[in-house]
Structure 1
Amino acid sequence: MDTSKKVYIAGPLFSEGELDFNTKLKEAIEKKGFAVYLPQENSEDNVHMRHEHKQNYIFQKNVEIIDDSDIIIAVLDGADVDSGTSWEIGYAYAKGKSIFGLRTDFRTLGSEGMINLMIDQSADAIAFDIPGVLEILEQ
């Protein structure tokens, strides 16, 4: 396991539950020794900054952090993957970053599978719980 690698967590951050889950995921990854970037903290992506019309700042900061990261952990929960998370996955894929998905949501997209095929094919691996993400990172 190379803990010198930097991890960016992509995922929705619009509810208290999402914010708490992101923090829980970050703390678990940090315990394994990785440096972790979390947009709700590191790019100040929060309701206050959005009300202040700092969208360009948030966007540029997240792009810089993705560029500086080695690994993207993308939270894929929901009936459909969060649109911002989908963009981050696509950008990271184009940049040649390692992308690992995390889907704790048991809903499926019918006979097509659990997530959009473009997201599925962009990911190097998908885990179904936080221990599974940690196992992927240890490989």
Structure 2
Amino acid sequence: MTKVYLAGPFFDDEQIARLERVEAALQANPTVESFYSPFRDSFDDYEFGSKAWAKVVFESDRQHLHDADVVVGIVDYDQDYVDPGTAWELGYAGMQGKKVVIFKEKEGGINIMISVPAHTFIRQADQLATYDFNVMPASEWDGPVF
């Protein structure tokens, strides 16, 4: 069973709906022991946007990245671009030698710094619900890169 860190943007209703579809798929996946979604941690004891809030969010996310076996990264953000925080999380996971599963629903490309090192690519939440995180089948990105 696998512990998953879910990286992805949640700045508007479309992004939140996508994130919730991915969370539901991970919840339904029998090979996922647990997953951490930063979206679910609000850190209400800190003023949103303050330096203290930023530090506790960063440290919490970094610790959860360390604890995860695999990172699932949602790269749909703004046209072909990935959210900068998500890009950082994906790079940090890669530096730890963790496998990265990229989730991309929208058409368009992916930057080579994400498309080349990623382990596999999933385009629909129902595919993520049945992906075997124990075996971790690999795939290559078949869309445009830049």
Q: Which range moves more in the overlay, 48-57 or 122-131?
A: 48-57
Partners of 2:28 and 2:129 within 8 A in 1: no
Tell me how far 1:124 sits from its aligned partner: 0.2
Partners of 1:71 and 1:100 within 8 A in 2: yes
Match of 1:137 among 116, 132, 137: 132
Tell me how far 1:98 sits from its aligned partner: 1.2
Tell me how far 1:39 sits from its aligned partner: 0.3
AA aligned to 2:15 is E
Let me know the Cα RMSD of the aligned residues: 2.0
Partners of 2:3 and 2:69 within 8 A in 1: yes
Q: Which residue matches 1:90?
A: 91
Partners of 1:90 and 1:122 within 8 A in 2: no
Matched positions, count: 128
Q: Which residue matches 2:106?
A: 105
Partners of 1:12 and 1:18 within 8 A in 2: yes
Tell me how far 1:122 sits from its aligned partner: 2.0
Quickly say closer, same or farther: Cα 1:90–1:44, change in 2 above 3 A.
Answer: same
Partners of 2:71 and 2:101 within 8 A in 1: yes
Partners of 2:70 and 2:101 within 8 A in 1: yes
Residues in 1 aligned to 2:11 and 2:113: alpha-carbon distance in whole angstroms = 24
AA aligned to 1:9 is L
Residues in 1 aligned to 2:88 and 2:132: alpha-carbon distance in whole angstroms = 22
Residues in 2 aligned to 1:23 and 1:128: alpha-carbon distance in whole angstroms = 15
TM-score by length of 2: 0.78
Unaligned runs of 5+ in 1: 108-113
